[in-house]
């Protein structure tokens, strides 16, 4: 009952969910929402423009049945075009750069496309660039059409007709800030045009990468080639000025580093359960950097372009992250927890009698324990504290823990590096507490860390 039946996969494009972020921005007064575009069938926002560019080309007579669609793509647009081409009966050839993830290239080939990999570090007009190779192929192959998402205004028109209206409706017209990583410019320009027609006071923030020309061009009007250098972020920033970027609609650009974008994407997965792509990490990091400009009552919407499954061997791979200095080499506190033989937390309560605690210490061989009340650590107790208290008067063993307990052990982040945890361990403080992702508490002692060195 109530479930719609679709005639083909292209009919499922759009109407993606808007999801509130609850943990990443706990200290931000604004309401932060993300438009989760990986709910599209090709797992990215580019599905919206793939079908639009092809259908507009058909109407203009630029491609006919049995032809070949050609595009230069970082992967996602290729997926959208490939899906549309399968349904409509076209062949596909995609040019891409050698910095794109292997997963993206494998997916394009899985959909029957031919993929030509071109060097990243060349000028756009260089005959080896993925722009130039796509243009050359379109001239050589009969009945072919180069979509050219950078300058094809069907790109931003797709977002004017779909993404913008969806966001306006989903926020009941309350949106105050729109945040987008900018590559071809279609998403930000098309969506912003619609939103600003509804409310010209909406702020539009573009996210740029270091090594891209957008930010300086918006602020100065200067296209500075000295701004251009290689970077790792995919689908963000450019070394050209695409016709789809309408700078008049963009209020500011914020640059985000490769490292910060990658770390934020991983944080989104851990804290929000949203496994999203590299560019999405840059969008959320951009909000983090600009959150001082936000106030209570603001409604912020950020675009999450694609799914994290396309970056499993990159930003979600610890070795890849460590090789680039994005993660420190070394064990995390969670690794120590995972290798502990005694994983169940042994604790006592403030009203437990000292004699019972001493028996527990003797039975378990544990010299220190956290004191819990109502599921929270409220103190700590060490065997030496008990011995000093009852020395010469064993009747004091009938007293309760609260008489001798010390402050709680420090609670440390579950993903803290072991090298940082050591700083919290002293003679007076022989252990630390941590909470895993399910909320369960664990204790880690100096002994645990020493033992882990040999594991």
Q: For residue 354, give both structure tokens.
A: 């000292």
121 and 230 together in one domain: no
Q: Which residue in 307, 21, 269, 303 sits closest to 182, CA to CA?
A: 303
173 and 280 together in one domain: yes
39 and 52 together in one domain: no
Respond yes or no: is residue 139 known to be catalytic: no
Q: Whole-structure pTM over 0.85, yes or no? A: no
Burial of 329 (0-12, 13-18, 19+ CB in 10 A): exposed
Q: At what angle do helices 102-110 and 76-88 cross, to 10 degrees?
A: 0
List 3, 23, 26, 46, catalytic entry = 46
Alpha-carbon distance of 326 to 305, in angstroms, equals: 22
301 and 171 together in one domain: yes
Alpha-carbon distance of 346 to 352, in angstroms, equals: 13
Alpha-carbon distance of 91 to 81, in angstroms, equals: 10
User: Is the per-residue pLDDT at 420 higher than 90?
Assistant: no
Does residue 2 form part of some domain?
Answer: no
Does residue 346 form part of some domain?
Answer: yes
Alpha-carbon distance of 81 to 113, in angstroms, equals: 10
105 and 196 together in one domain: no
**Structurally, how many domains does the chain consist of?**
3
Which tens digits make up the pLDDT trace of 299-358?
Answer: 999 999 999 999 999 999 988 998 898 987 667 788 788 777 666 788 999 999 999 999
165 in Cβ contact with 194 (< 8 Å) = yes
Does residue 3 form part of some domain?
Answer: no
183 in Cβ contact with 237 (< 8 Å) = yes
CATH label of the domain that carries residue 369 = 3.10.580.10
81 and 158 together in one domain: no
CATH label of the domain that carries residue 288 = 3.40.50.1100
pLDDT band at 246 (very low <50, low <70, confident <90, very high): very high
96 in Cβ contact with 73 (< 8 Å) = yes
427 and 440 together in one domain: yes
167 and 269 together in one domain: yes
Which tens digits make up the pLDDT trace of 195-242?
Answer: 999 999 999 999 999 999 999 999 999 999 999 999 999 889 999 999
Alpha-carbon distance of 275 to 388, in angstroms, equals: 52
Angstrom CA distances, 62 to 143, 149, 150, 242, stand at: 8, 15, 18, 21
108 and 228 together in one domain: no
Q: Which domain holds residue 272?
A: 9-44+154-323
377 and 400 together in one domain: yes
Is the Cα dihedral 127, 49, 103, 65 positive or negative?
negative
94 and 55 together in one domain: yes
User: Is the per-residue pLDDT at 454 higher than 90?
Assistant: no
């Amino acid at each position: 009952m109530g479930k719609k039946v679709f005639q083909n996969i292209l009919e499922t494009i759009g109407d993606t969910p808007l999801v509130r972020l609850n943990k990443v921005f706990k200290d931000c007064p604004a309401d932060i929402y993300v438009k989760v575009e990986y709910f599209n069938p090709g797992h990215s926002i580019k599905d919206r423009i793939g079908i639009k560019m092809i259908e507009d080309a058909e109407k203009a007579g630029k491609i006919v049945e049995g032809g070949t669609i050609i595009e230069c793509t970082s992967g996602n647009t290729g997926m959208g075009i490939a899906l549309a081409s399968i349904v409509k009966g076209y062949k596909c050839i995609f040019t891409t750069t050698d910095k794109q993830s292997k997963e993206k290239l494998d997916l394009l080939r899985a959909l029957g496309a031919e993929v030509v990999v071109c060097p990243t570090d060349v000028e756009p007009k260089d005959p080896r660039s993925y722009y130039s190779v796509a243009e050359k192929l379109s001239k050589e192959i009969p009945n072919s059409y180069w979509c050219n998402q950078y300058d094809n205004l069907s790109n931003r028109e797709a977002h004017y007709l779909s993404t913008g209206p969806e966001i306006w409706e989903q926020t009941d017209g309350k949106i105050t800030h729109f945040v987008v990583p900018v590559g071809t410019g279609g998403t930000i320009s098309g969506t912003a045009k619609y939103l600003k027609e509804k409310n010209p006071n909406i702020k539009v923030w573009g996210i740029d990468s270091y090594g891209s020309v957008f930010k300086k061009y918006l602020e100065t009007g200067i296209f500075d080639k000295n701004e251009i250098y290689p970077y790792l972020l995919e689908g963000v920033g450019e070394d050209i000025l695409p016709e789809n970027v309408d700078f008049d609609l963009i209020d500011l650009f914020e640059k985000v580093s490769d490292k910060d974008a990658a770390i934020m994407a991983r944080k989104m997965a851990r804290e929000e359960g949203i496994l999203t792509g590299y560019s999405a990490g840059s969008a959320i990091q951009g909000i983090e950097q600009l959150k001082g400009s936000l106030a209570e009552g603001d409604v912020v919407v950020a675009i999450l372009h694609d799914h994290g499954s396309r970056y499993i061997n990159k930003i979600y791979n610890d070795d890849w992250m460590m090789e680039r200095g994005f993660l420190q080499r070394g064990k995390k506190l969670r690794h120590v927890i995972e290798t502990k033989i005694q994983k169940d937390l042994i604790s006592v309560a403030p009203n437990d009698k000292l004699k019972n605690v001493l028996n527990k210490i003797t039975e378990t061989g544990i010299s220190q324990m956290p004191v819990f009340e109502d599921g929270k650590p409220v103190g700590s107790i060490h065997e030496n504290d008990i011995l000093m208290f009852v020395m010469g008067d064993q009747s004091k063993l009938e007293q309760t823990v609260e008489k001798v307990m010390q402050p709680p052990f420090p609670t440390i982040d579950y993903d803290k590096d072991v090298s940082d945890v050591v700083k919290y361990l002293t003679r007076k403080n022989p252990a630390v507490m941590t909470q895993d992702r399910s909320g369960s508490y664990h204790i880690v002692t100096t002994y645990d860390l020493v033992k882990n060195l040999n594991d």
